A and B are shown apart, each in its own frame.
Chain A
Amino acid sequence: MNEPRALLILNNLSKTYGSNRVLDNFDLTIFDGEFFTLLGPSGCGKTTVLRMIAGLEDTDTGNIQLENHDIGQVPAEKRPINTVFQSYALFPHMTVFDNVAFGLRMSGVAKEEIAPRVTEALEMVRLGEFAERKPAQLSGGQQQRVAIARAVVNRPKLLLLDESLSALDYKLRQQMQIELKRLQRKLGITFVYVTHDQEEALSMSDRVVVMNKGKVQQLGTPREIYEQPANLFVAKFIGEINQLVGEIVEIDGNHEYEVKVEGLQWRLHAEHNFKVGDKVNVLLRPEDVRVEYIDDPHPDQYLVGEVIERNYKGKTLDSLIRLPSGIEVIASEFFDEDDPSFDYSLNQKVAIKWVPGWEVVLPHEV
């Protein structure tokens, strides 16, 4: 792959509303042609970042560079950036065609060029035959696609999407995720997507930044963020995770440690540097936890727990298991076709282990 080219650089952005610091010295570089997602809980500042890029929000400090030009002083209407709003914000008194043509007309595109471009954009979102309808005559998903067509028809350098799928129902949302991704590849436009839905972020993005309280928590590919969370916040925000507490008892060098967890000693890998005696969090995804019948022979060491809840999820069986220390661990297992008896009863004692290396060891925090 070619060296990615920086398209948008956010430098040291800050924003304070009253006493509420929504954005705190925020830096970010977005590459040309990528599908980039800002992910975080509501109030983490992700929408503020998006609105700053669009020019709809002033920055207190810092600057925004698009292709090496500072666009901080360029008003929203002059930026080569378009937004798909959460509420779609279509113009109800205009037809679908006029909605999509609006941006072209505003920027003074030649009349004879407008119709073909609008038609092309509508075809792209498969709404060609709806051109003469009013927005109110369309379903939510169709309105969503009009909003996308209205933005991309201007051929922006950057397309911003603000929680654009959150108003749709689950099925439609899944469908639109795929469609958006396909559209992005086809257009080659850089997409910056804002969402609080981690599943959406993981499935669509090339890169994701996880934000909390106006700060970057982690920046990386979906896989890095899911498998190697940088801190407890990211680990907990992206999917479910089990948190065990351990203590470093020996350093084996090269980021290998002997860690005491739940009374047993394990040899674990960690990216961080620890000293002997440091407390650590050992994090395990529910699907990485292995539960076995305690009567079976076990060559490796294991923890013993008691099943306190079973939760049939269709695809998986989720079990809540309490360890002797009182910590509760969730294990999510796929059904095994060859084992029809696969199930646990409440209060059953089971053996718990995990694939070595699939755990994440982080400094202890609560």
Chain B
Amino acid sequence: MAPIFRWGFMGLVLTLIYIPILVLVVNSFNASKYGIKWGGFTFKWYEKFWNNEGLMGAALNSLTVSIVAASVATVIGTLAAVALHRYHFKGKALLSSMVFVSMLTPEIVMAISLLIVFMALGIKLGFISLVIGHITFCLPFVIVAVYSRLKGFDMKMLEAARDLGASESSIFWKIILPLALPAVASGWLLSFTLSLDDVIVSAFVTGPGYEILPLKVYSMVRVGVSPEVNAISTILLVVSLVLVVISQLLLREDK
């Protein structure tokens, strides 16, 4: 009796969560344009997306922004995490709590404040502002991922390295970085995913000259959901899913 309820309940929850996504994925392969009934299996929406220069351009822009933003955020974030973990300095506690604050800030608030900053500084909205904006919201995720990994280390190990003659830079390259690498990689992947499908911050800080995929999709949907959008969404879903799984695998304790 009990197992039936348990499985039934779980099944219900999972269904409610995943049915919309499932419908979307299925419809991306549906030959019928309106998606109300099944019109046979097709790849034509994917082909249409592939041949749509505007969409492909936006996708390429998105990839560029995400790769650049994720990479810069990973470098800065890793160094910040090492500094927070290894050194004592004034304002360290404040800095580390600010990391969490910025993670919890509503995205719309961050979007508006970034926009104000860019306008105040006279930065033209476009690729540069977009990348800076994305770096900003990715950064705390990298810091948290790397920092929590570093915290698991035996600090004595770094002293042992010094004792054995390693300079500060050797300690970073030979000990800290190799050990933190899974977290660094996972931070990069997470940043990439966050950046790739961001809408809110992007909508505020990009300019008319630089279109990225999520915004393009958003503007397309306003005219009506086309099956092409289903195809794009499915691709984004798969990419995000794969990256998140990889990043979680990397973060698992290597045993």
Contact = CB atoms under 8 A, between A and B. Distances in A.
B165 interface: yes
A220 B245 CA distance: 62
Nearest to B171: A77
Interface string A69-104: 000000111100111011101111100000000110
B162 A93 contact: no
5 contacts: A76-B163, A82-B164, A92-B157, A93-B178, A106-B170
Nearest to A100: B164
Contacts of B159: 56, 76, 83, 85, 89
Determine which residue in A81, A85, A86, A91 has the highest number of CB atoms from chain B within 10 A of its CB, and name it: A91
Determine which residue in A56, A106, A154 has the highest number of CB atoms from chain B within 10 A of its CB, and name it: A106
Contact of A83 (B163, B167, B174): B163
A145 interface: no
B3 to A, nearest CB: 39
Interface string B153-195: 0101101111111110010001100110000000000000000
Nearest to A101: B164
Chain A to chain B: the 6 pairs with minimum beta-carbon distance, closest first:
A103-B164, A106-B165, A89-B156, A89-B160, A89-B157, A76-B162
Interface band, chain A: 20 to 34
A87 B156 contact: yes
Interface of A: 54-56, 75-78, 81-83, 85-87, 89-93, 102-103, 106-107, 150-151, 154
Main secondary structure on B side of the interface with A: helix
A83 B159 CA distance: 9
Given A56-B162, A91-B175, A93-B179, A77 B157 contact: no
Contacts of B162: 56, 75-77
Contact of B165 (A56, A78, A90): A78
B164 A87 contact: no
A335 to B, nearest CB: 45
A56 B164 CA distance: 12
A83 B156 CA distance: 11
Given A87-B156, A91-B157, A77 B163 contact: yes
A54 B160 CA distance: 10
Contact of A102 (B161, B178, B179): B161
A93 B173 CA distance: 13
A118 to B, nearest CB: 13
B197 to A, nearest CB: 33
Determine which residue in A55, A93, A154 has the highest number of CB atoms from chain B within 10 A of its CB, and name it: A93
Contacts of A154: 164-165
Interface in B107-165: 154, 156-157, 159-165
A93 B254 CA distance: 10
B163 A56 contact: yes
Contacts of B175: 91
